[in-house]
Chain A
C-alpha cells in the first residue's frame, strides 16, 4: 500500500505527498515505536546477511568478504553432489515435520488440561513443570540421555530391561530406535514452550463463550472443538508458519550431543546442521558453511511463501503477510 502511495507521488505530487505527510503526522508515534527495534534488527540481522555473498566466493581473510574471488557455485557442490545430501535433507525435513505436529498437538492437549484444572496450586505446579526441561542445555541433556541409554552404565540396560527380562540393547548402534528417541527428547524439552503460549491464549478466551456452551448442554469435547480450537487457530497458524520457515534448520545440540555423534546412527540422526558442522566448521571453511546457510534460508523462504499463500487462500486473516 505504502509503496503505491510513494511511487504514485511522482505523478500527482501535491496531493499524494500531502496524504503521505498526513499519514506520518497521524501515526508518527507508531513509527517511532517501531524504530529502536528496527535499528537493532538492521544491525544484528540485516547487515550480516550481506555476508551470504561468501557462499559464492573463495573466502580470504585478507581480502575480506567483498574482495575475495568469486567461486561460482563450487561451494554448493557438497550439498547436492554427495551421497549424503539426500539423507541429511530427508532427516531434516521429516524430523521438523514430526516436531511441529507433535509439539502442537500435545502442547494444545496439555494446555487444555492445565487450563481446566480447578486447583490453583496444581495449575501452578504443572505450569512450572512443563517448562523446566527448557532450562536444560543440550550438552547436559546429552549426558542425561546417556545416563539412561549407555550400554555399560545406563539405567535402561542396567535396571529396567533386566527387570523386564529383556536383553540389553546397544542403543548407540541401533539406528531404528533413534527417530523415536529424538522425537521424544525434543518433545520433552520443547513442548512447554508452545504449551505456555497456548495456556496464555486459552486464558484469554472470553469466558462467556464457554458459559453459553454449557447452557447449550455441550460436552467438553464439543466445547474444545467449537470454541477452544477455533480460538487457538491464529496462534497455531502463526507458530506453525514460523516453524516452517525454519524447516531446513535444526537444533544442533539435539542432533549432535544427544546421539553422541555416533557414526552408526548417522543415517537417522544426521541433519544439515550437524553435517555442516562436522565437515566444515572444524576446517573453518567459511564459503561452504555460508553455502549451507544460504541453501537453508532460501529453501525455508520459498516453503514459507507457499505455506503462507495457502493460508491466505483458506483464511486470509491468519496469513502472516
Chain B
C-alpha cells in the first residue's frame, strides 16, 4: 500500500511538472481487455512511465482501464450503451453491432482522412484499416495478427515418438511454419486409431463445445453464419447460400460422427468448457484440433506443459480470409468520448509508435523486460512466466504488435513478424472481404436463428450425435433455421452484398499470394 502511494505520488509529481511546463495535456482513458492477471502497483508505474513519453510527444495523458474478458462480455457492454464516459475501448466483431445500433460508437471514417489516419493506413494497409465497418460505419481498427486460420493437430511428442508417427509424418520439434503441404483431414483417423490401439485409456482427440468449424474448413461466414459464401465449392462465388445444406458441412459432420462412434473424440465434447490445456496437462489426451501459425508450437507447449508436434490438415493448400478473420478484435472510440481527435491520435500511437506499444505490452524496459542482443525482448532478469508483475501479451487482441518487440519465448527470432506476415500470404481473399452485413433490421430473425443453430451445433460438430443420426439432425437443423426466417436473412444479405459489390467490386487476392499458392499446387 505504501509502495502504491509513493508511486502514485511520484506519478502525480511527474504529471504536475509537465502540467506546469505546458498547457494541460488531454486526459484519455484507454480501456483494454486484460487476459492475464497483472500487478496493480506495477501497472500504475508503467502508466506513469508511459505518460512521461506521451505528454511531450502527443500532448496526451493516458489512464489505463483494464477490463476482464468476463466483464467485457457482460457489464462493460451495459456500461457502453448506458453512455458512460469512455475514450478508447476494445471492440469485438461479434457484439459491436449492438453498440453501433445504440449510437455508442464513433464512426472513424472521417478520422482516417486526417494525417493521423494516413499514418495508420500506412502502417496496416488501406484494406485492413477499413475492414471493421458496417454499412460504411467504421467502428474500429483491427489488431494486427495472423489473419488466415490454417488448421491442424497438436499431438503429444512422447506418444508420437513411441508409436512411430514421428517418422511416418516427418514431425519435428519446433516445426510449425506452413510450407504448402496439408493432409486431408480424413487421414487423421489413422493416427487416432493407432493411438487408440496402443493406449485404449487415452482420448485420441479432444474437442470442446466452442465452435471449431474453422479448424476443418473455411467458408466466408459473412459475420453470423446465416447465409455464407461457399468457398469450398467455388473460391470466387458471391452467391449467398445456406452453409448447413452444403456438402462440405455434411461431410464434416459425418466424419466427426464417425470419429465419435469409434471412440476418437472426447465423450464430453459437446458440453466441455475446460479447454485443451487442462486436458493435455492431465495426461490422458493425445491431441486437439487447433489453428496453427509460426511460433505456435512453443506457445502451445508452454501452455500445455508438455512437448508436442503439429501437423497441418486441410483440403486446400491455402486458407481463406474473410472480414471476420481480420476484424475479430480491435480498438474503437466510444461516442461518449469528449476529445475524439486526441483519442484517435492515441490510436495512431498504438499503431505506429513502437515505444507506446512496447510500454503497454511489456512494461518498463530493464524492470519488467529486457531487450536481447538480436533485438527481441524477454522478461528482465529474475522475472519469468510465473512471477511477472506486468506482461500483457495481448498484441493479437489490440493495436499493432508488428511494430513492437518480438517476444522471445525460446522459438522466436527477430524476423518473427515477417514470418507471421508471410504466413498470411498463404491465403485467398474472399470476394466479399471488406463487406460486413448490417443485421440490425433482422434482430428477431438472428435471435431465433442463433437459438436454432445452438440447439444442434455442438452435437453435430463434435460428432456426439452419432453417425446414425447425422442426416436426420442436419435436416432438423435446416427446418428449424428456415422456420426461424433463414431465407429472409439470406435474401437481405445477398441484396446488401450485391450493393456492396456494385460499388467496391469483388476483393482480389494479391498477386504474390496467388504466386506462392500456385507454386505449391
Contacts and interface: CB of A to CB of B under 8 A. Distances in A.
Q: Do chains A and B touch in the complex (CB under 8 A)?
A: yes
Nearest to A171: B271
A275 B449 CA distance: 12
Interface stretch (A123-131, A181-189, A240-248, A281-289): A281-289
A286 B73 contact: no
B60 interface: no
A26 interface: no
Contacts of A284: 77-78, 80-81, 95, 98-99, 102
Contacts of B483: 83
A77 B81 CA distance: 22
A264 B268 contact: no
Contacts of B94: 282
B451 interface: yes
A61 B485 CA distance: 29
A83 B104 contact: no
Interface string A226-262: 0000000000000000000000000000000000111
Q: Is the interface of B mostly helix, strand, loop or mixed?
A: helix
A2 B203 CA distance: 73
A1 interface: no
A61 B451 contact: no
A19 interface: no
Contacts of A63: 103
Contacts of A278: 450-451, 454
A150 interface: yes
B393 interface: no
B270 A288 contact: no
Given A77-B444, A285-B98, A262 B458 contact: yes
A172 B454 contact: no
A260 B270 CA distance: 10
B484 A263 contact: no
B266 interface: yes
A106 interface: no
B173 interface: no
B447 A82 contact: yes
Interface string B357-376: 00000000000000000000
B188 interface: no
B273 interface: yes
A155 to B, nearest CB: 14
A83 B480 contact: yes
A315 to B, nearest CB: 43
Given A151-B267, A262-B271, A278-B450, A61 B455 contact: no
A279 B102 contact: no
A78 B444 contact: yes
Contacts of A261: 209, 271, 454
Interface in A63-117: 63-64, 77-78, 81-84
A239 B451 CA distance: 34
Interface string B71-84: 00110011011110
Contact of A150 (B98, B268, B335, B465): B268
Residue from B74, B101, B447 having most chain A Cβ neighbours under 10 A: B447
A286 B95 contact: no
Interface residues of B, number: 48
A153 B279 CA distance: 12
Nearest to B459: A264
A280 B103 contact: no
Nearest to B282: A153
Given A59-B102, A60-B102, A286-B81, A170 B95 contact: no
B459 A61 contact: no
B74 A61 contact: no
B270 A78 contact: no
Contact of A61 (B97, B266, B335): B335
B480 A61 contact: no
Interface in B41-84: 73-74, 77-78, 80-83
B456 interface: yes
Given A78-B447, A83-B448, A288-B447, A264 B99 contact: no
A266 interface: yes
A151 B268 contact: yes
Nearest to B78: A284
B210 to A, nearest CB: 11
B1 interface: no
B334 to A, nearest CB: 9
B447 to A, nearest CB: 3
Interface string B461-478: 000110000000000000
A152 interface: yes
Contacts of B456: 263-264
Interface of A: 58-64, 77-78, 81-84, 146, 150-153, 170, 172-173, 260-264, 266-267, 270, 275, 278-286, 288
Given A59-B81, A266-B451, 4 more contacts: A60-B102, A170-B267, A172-B270, A284-B102
28 contacts: A61-B102, A62-B335, A81-B444, A82-B447, A82-B451, A83-B480, A83-B483, A84-B452, A146-B271, A150-B271, A151-B267, A152-B203, A152-B267, A152-B268, A170-B464, A172-B270, A173-B465, A260-B271, A263-B270, A263-B456, A263-B459, A278-B454, A279-B450, A281-B77, A284-B80, A284-B81, A284-B95, A288-B444
